[in-house]
Amino acid sequence: MTKIVKLFMATFLLGLFIIPISVSAAELKSSENLYIPQGETIDGNLYTASNNIIVDGDINGDLIALAKTITINGRLDGDLIALAQTIVVNGEINGNLRSISNTATINGSIARNVNFVGNNLNIEKNAQINWDLVTGALNTDIKGTIKGNVDGSSDSISLAGKIGKNFNFSHSSQAQKITISPEANINGDFLYSEGSYLNISEQANITGKTESIKKENTDKKDTTRKVWSFIYKIFAVLVIGLVLSTLGKKHLINLSKSLKENINKSLTWGLLTSLIVPLVAIILTFSIIGMPLALILVIFWITLLCLGKIIIAILVGKYLLDKFSKNKQNFTLALIVGVIILWSLCVIPYLGWLISFVASSFGLGAILIYFKKINSYV
């Protein structure tokens, strides 16, 4: 992974932590679906969290968003900074696109840079990026025009478009599959990792040199994997947490109150359940009839542990917002702050696993007590 990609990811995560604390005076929107129709204009920056965001109108500033899907059909005068499952840009972004997502598809124009981390990045035929592209996608497919440099690391790279300067994929620690189509035009150097599988058409135009670069050492490779793993965990958790905070806000508020009233019980029941369930599952596996039940039990237990950890993260974020911010009831901001802090603590050597176990068990206990309380009223 390049230094540029590492710097982008670090800056992105730092920005997600700072933004919720520093934009208390800015306009914040949180809803299940956000739609900005054609003809509507938002003056200034927009900070939002929704399941689905569609922009057919204009935003005269930055769009900083957390969502499942983000679709830009209109005009964005500033940057798009986003955590999302899917991003589609059909319109115009007059700033930068900085994103961590599963899939990003660009059909429109980006006036400056594109920085992307995720699974799939598709630069379609009509797309145009006026400055540079830095990609950390597992699969990068470029059919459009990029006037600057292309720099990054991908397992699979396909180029059928035009590159204004260098095309550099020499940073990967493993072999890559690179396909250069007849339509491709690289107006600079083409650099790639040693041992990569190349499929270069004779009709492709490469103005500069074509050169392989030796692989990174093992230590760098391990560090890269750890960074990627952490980024994907943060991304996945924020998407799941977004669904929880959007669709289950009422339950989160009530669960928060219940947890405060039953702190000791929540921790006790959570720890006991976390220890007992695996033992019960092991016992069930000794019988043929019990094996399916054991599998269901373990899946359900792991799911509740994951949800419990996310809930604790939200409560941590909410506590900090109550102390330092005016946005006391904004669960989306609490989610972002809490997840980044808690998951960062969980990667501390030797101590991280304990923090993760306690947080997950604590949240599990809170969920069990809350469900019991709900059922008592039924």
Q: One digit per residue, pLDDT tens: the chain, 378 residues? A: 444 444 444 445 444 444 444 443 345 565 678 999 999 999 988 888 778 899 999 999 989 887 889 999 999 999 998 878 899 999 999 999 988 888 999 999 999 999 998 889 999 999 999 999 999 889 999 999 999 999 988 899 999 999 999 999 987 767 789 999 999 999 999 999 888 999 999 999 999 999 998 765 545 555 656 666 677 677 778 777 777 766 677 777 778 777 778 888 888 888 898 888 888 888 877 766 666 777 778 888 888 888 888 888 888 888 888 877 665 566 777 888 888 889 888 888 888 889 998 999 888 888 888 888 776 644
Q: Which two structure tokens, joined as six digits, stand for 86?
A: 């899917």
* Closest among 74, 70, 143 to 100, alpha carbons compared: 70
Name residue 198's beta-bridge partners. 178
* Closest among 123, 173, 128, 130 to 153, alpha carbons compared: 173
pTM summary value:
0.65
* Cα 48 from Cα 25, distance rounded (Å): 14
Mapped onto helix, strand or coil, the DSSP state of residue 365 is helix
Q: Report whether 152 contacts 136 (CB < 8 A).
A: yes
